[in-house]
A and B are shown apart, each in its own frame.
Chain A
Amino acid sequence: MFAIQTSNLSRHFGTIKAVDHLTLNVPRGIIFGFLGPNGAGKTTTINLLLGLLEPAEGSAKVLGFDCSTQSDLVRKHTGALFEHSGLYERLSVKDNLEFYARIWRLPRGLRTSRIHQLLNHFALWDRRDQIASKLSRGMQRKLALARAFIHQPTLVFLDEPTSGLDPIAAAHLHDDLLAFCRTEEATVFLTTHNLPEAEKICSQVAVISNGRLLTQGSVDELCKAKMVHQIEVIGSDFDEMLLSTLASSRGVLSAKGDRGRLILEVDEKADPASLSHAIISSGGRVEEFRRVRSSLEDVFLALMEGENDR
């Protein structure tokens, strides 16, 4: 059973198609990355899935509940962290969680223990009486994340969770999120345009642009399907003559580079051993010779280039 299923889901704002016939299946129990550039329709999709916006066309089910007719049930079983942390800055760290624990009607005993557990997990227990505005941005993000998980939801929507965080704070948040999702066995629907982040923590991703779904699958599948075959050579004494020799070698589609680094785009016919031999015979010195694996970023950029060409 899927945690999220959408069928031709669409929403327009005037002439702008924010979400355009989106058909998506998100399996349960995974961290699902929903990727796209700014303005691609990621946040609108979350708002549609939470039943906060009405679709113009199509339908969506979250945890088996219809997002249009059973939006209260959808919201009851899900948690959400939006682009802005949305903390009550005049209230203490503990009171921010207490409010949402009361909203989800956690009994008093459970409320106390859950708040304790979450604040401990996110290393905020010592700051429980501090007002939220005094926390660093990273800590505020952690508190907002704790708030999204307060009622042990089956599914959590995270909209750009590391937006505006420095790399260290973002890395800590990733680790916390991964550890926490493992413990809670929740499905996470995460939107981001931070591709290394998605590659690190998501088991499946979908790419959206201009409201349209461009692709969906596991990170490995997408990287293999959109594989860019490249060989990177690090060394010295690479010159123009060497570049033209390599460019005319069997299986080499193009050869680019400077005196210290070469990038060869190759097809299946290319033989790495003969290529390295050709470099050495032409007077080049090789320190490192390796096949380059496509990253999610390469896949994403290739998709966006294709989209721009349309």
Chain B
Amino acid sequence: MIADVLTVMWKEWKELYAQYRKADLNLLVSVLAIAFLGVFPALQAGERWMSSPMVLIFSGWVPLILVSGVIADAFAGERERHTLEPLLASHLSDTSILIGKIASAVSYGWGHALFMLLIGLITVNVIDVGGGFLFYSPSILLAGILLSLLGSGAAACAGVIVSLRAPTVKYAQQLLSSASMLVFVLLFIAARSAPIDWWGISSKELVSNLIIYTTLILALLDLALFLIAKSRFRREELILD
């Protein structure tokens, strides 16, 4: 099955690359957005960026936005371009197709989130030239890597659920981008209403608890969404749609 998943990922990446190559502007927007999200908050927070849980909010939200942009195409796009029929008529299993689609979107979102962490690291070190080399605290780095992976996973699974039944790519994109914005607004409201100074938070215990609970919630969400996506993947319904 791994070989089949890699095959689907190979095709997805090829298509994504071809799409970017065709529209250089897309690539530029993507790089600028990541640079902005990596540079701007790090500039604002300075060396506190290296240990602030705010890093985790950005790590979770950035892949959500990026993944929802590409995953909308996963099935709705294949249906629109009539490439779904030959794919379903191949001997690839339902699980390989599903995991391949999800994994390629996850790798896209996660890769960008890691790139954003790197940009933040460079920014903080550039503005703090005299203060020696600064690096993320181990717990923040680990949580940043893990949460961006789980955030990408949740966005990809949710995106697949929408894309499987969406009549058009545009419809799926609109639904997913609205959902991403809603998640961002809810996160923002929750963060503002909590009696915590997010930039200056110093309690290691609080940070650890935040990381552990967020990771657990996201992991469970990923699993639940994947199982829903798997249960909605029915060759017959996809053909009849």
Instruction: Give me the interface of A with B, judged by CB distance under 8 Å.
Output: 47, 50-54, 72, 75-76, 78, 80-82, 84-91, 95, 99-100, 102-105, 131, 144, 147-148, 157
Contacts and interface: CB of A to CB of B under 8 A. Distances in A.
A131 B82 contact: no
B67 to A, nearest CB: 19
Contacts of A104: 90-91
Nearest to B6: A102
A102 B10 contact: yes
Given A82-B82, A88-B11, A103-B7, A47 B239 contact: yes
Given A52-B236, A54-B236, A75 B91 contact: yes
A104 B89 CA distance: 12
A51 B90 CA distance: 11
26 contacts: A50-B89, A51-B235, A52-B88, A52-B89, A52-B235, A53-B236, A53-B240, A76-B91, A78-B89, A82-B82, A82-B86, A82-B89, A86-B81, A86-B87, A90-B15, A90-B18, A90-B19, A99-B7, A99-B10, A102-B7, A102-B10, A103-B4, A103-B90, A103-B91, A148-B86, A157-B89
Contact of B85 (A78, A86, A99): A86
Interface string B216-241: 00000000000000000001100110
Contacts of A47: 239
Nearest to B94: A72
Give the most central of B18, B81, B89: most A CB within 10 Å.
Answer: B89
Given A52-B88, A84-B82, A86-B83, A91 B239 contact: no
A99 B11 contact: yes
A175 to B, nearest CB: 23
A147 B19 CA distance: 22
B91 A89 contact: no
A89 B10 CA distance: 16
Given A52-B239, A84-B85, A75 B90 contact: yes
Nearest to A13: B240
Contacts of A78: 89
A202 to B, nearest CB: 22
A50 B93 CA distance: 14
Nearest to B97: A103
Nearest to B11: A99
Identify the 6 closest CB pairs spanning chains A and B, nearest first. A84-B82, A90-B18, A76-B91, A80-B89, A102-B7, A75-B91
B92 interface: yes
B14 interface: yes
B25 interface: no
B204 interface: no
Nearest to A147: B86
A103 B85 CA distance: 14
A105 B83 contact: no
Nearest to A102: B7
Contacts of B89: 50, 52, 75, 78, 80, 82, 157
A204 to B, nearest CB: 23
Contacts of B82: 82, 84-86
Given A72-B91, A86-B85, A100-B90, A91 B7 contact: no
Nearest to B15: A90
A95 B14 contact: yes
B19 A86 contact: no
Contacts of A95: 14
B90 A53 contact: no
Interface string B73-86: 00000000111111
Nearest to B83: A86
Nearest to B88: A52
A110 to B, nearest CB: 15
Give the most central of B4, B18, B22: most A CB within 10 Å.
Answer: B18
